[in-house]
Chains A and B, each alone.
Chain A
């Protein structure tokens, strides 16, 4: 395929997969997919690329693997060795379930504890191993579970509502609500800035997120240093390694800074 031809294909495919086409153009494109095998091939490759970043989809509808390969693996899954392993796994699973007591499962605290434990395991692992992408690191450190609560401030039901929406991952709504609050009020407490910034971050509104965390950094509060940590995560999510490092270095200058230990670890991973 010559370069011009390829460029034309790619433009159409990109626009389609990035949802930039009108309904009619979409239909037209789908039609041409049926008539042009070369275009279809390129399209499938692109589908797989987009799936790298889109967790709501999977690649079982683009290509079908070579049938000989499928058979070979299938034979293994039917082997006695695989059957034995499957039995052992079932036993192991039963052992595991017995150990984690049922009352613990019913406990409302179970999920938060589970989350905390998995983060702890992760952090320990990351201190010993490297080689993960900044995306993976971002996921590890962005578990948002030690943000101070706003619900105690019963006079501010808008804030409590915002926190609730945030916890339900309704970030567009929580963002709108906090944004309005921050614009309207003169004195903004650190947790409010954190929720505003994290809502923005979850929506990939990076500039806005940074502005909230900068405001926190510039504030004269005890929580001021939290701004650095969250700002670093904004850069990490965007894969801006150098910026992430710069902000983390700032945390490293003072041991009493929020997430000092994590910042040191993360710096290690990134370098």
Chain B
């Protein structure tokens, strides 16, 4: 298997052969995800193209240093997130509120910064202690406190609630105190 640098260099150099290879290797998984989530092949194609553009932009102007997972895992997460975003946008259009039209470039810029913010939260979540991560994961998945107590063998719901509160406060503090955060909100 070729390494991350090979693919990233291929994108930065606009290398047709490497990018074709990227399509063969990684597009099917993205396509499958989109098809399984209310999308069509054309949607997947559009999303995948944007994922590649986003990688290039992040390296060129946001100094994205390393993709610290595999290239495939990175691409797939980006594909999933962009598609979630697209679905959310479509949902909103069907509501009464219609956002002013933005250019594609501007929309892609927003998507990129949202992806960064999402990664920042994820990164901070990953950095918590194993215990905190466990209880917060259940909590964020909306598992009831009664079940949390059972699954993690806490002595009572009060203890579980205190755990959640402390871990969550810690997580939020670390997000807010990160320098990147203030540029990602306004």
A interface with B by C-beta (< 8 Å)? 6-7, 10, 14, 18-19, 42, 44-45, 48-61, 63-67, 69-78, 81-82, 84-86, 88-93, 95-96, 99, 111, 114-115, 117-118, 121-122, 124-125, 128-129, 131-133, 135-136, 204, 206-207, 238-241
Check A89/B29 contact, CB under 8 A, given A48-B117, A53-B141: no
Determine whether the beta carbon of B184 is less than 8 Å from that of A63: yes
For the complex, what is the distance from the CA of A111 to the CA of B72, rounded to whole Å? Answer: 19
For the complex, what is the distance from the CA of A57 to the CA of B37, rounded to whole Å? Answer: 12
- Please give the distance in Å from A245's CB to the nearest CB on chain B: 13
For the complex, what is the distance from the CA of A247 to the CA of B60, rounded to whole Å? Answer: 45
Check A93/B56 contact, CB under 8 A, given A72-B61, A241-B130: no
- Please give the distance in Å from A176's CB to the nearest CB on chain B: 19
- Please give the distance in Å from B144's CB to the nearest CB on chain A: 9
Determine whether the beta carbon of B62 is less than 8 Å from that of A66: no
> B169 is contacted by which of A6, A56, A132, A241 (Cβ under 8 Å)?
A6
Contact of B108 with A by CB under 8 A: yes
Q: Which residues of B contact A42 (CB under 8 A)?
A: 172
- Please give the distance in Å from A204's CB to the nearest CB on chain B: 7
Determine whether the beta carbon of A45 is less than 8 Å from that of B176: yes
Q: Which residues of A contact B87 (CB under 8 A)?
A: 58
For the complex, what is the distance from the CA of A131 to the CA of B25, rounded to whole Å? Answer: 21
Contact of B154 with A by CB under 8 A: no
Check A78/B105 contact, CB under 8 A, given A96-B27, A117-B28: yes
Q: Which residues of B contact A111 (CB under 8 A)?
A: 32, 35
Max count, chain B CB within 10 A of own CB: residue among A52, A75, A99: A52
For the complex, what is the distance from the CA of A96 to the CA of B73, rounded to whole Å? Answer: 20
Contact of B16 with A by CB under 8 A: yes
Q: Which residues of B contact A240 (CB under 8 A)?
A: 134
Chain A, Cβ-Cβ closest to B26 = A121
> A125 is contacted by which of B14, B72, B89, B130 (Cβ under 8 Å)?
B72
Q: Which residues of B contact A72 (CB under 8 A)?
A: 61
Contact of B24 with A by CB under 8 A: yes
Within 8 A of A (CB), among B1-55: 1, 11, 14-16, 19-20, 22-25, 27-29, 31-32, 35, 45, 48-49, 52-53
Determine whether the beta carbon of B24 is less than 8 Å from that of A74: no
Determine whether the beta carbon of A18 is less than 8 Å from that of B114: no
> B114 is contacted by which of A58, A77, A115, A207 (Cβ under 8 Å)?
A58
Check A89/B49 contact, CB under 8 A, given A59-B114, A70-B106: yes
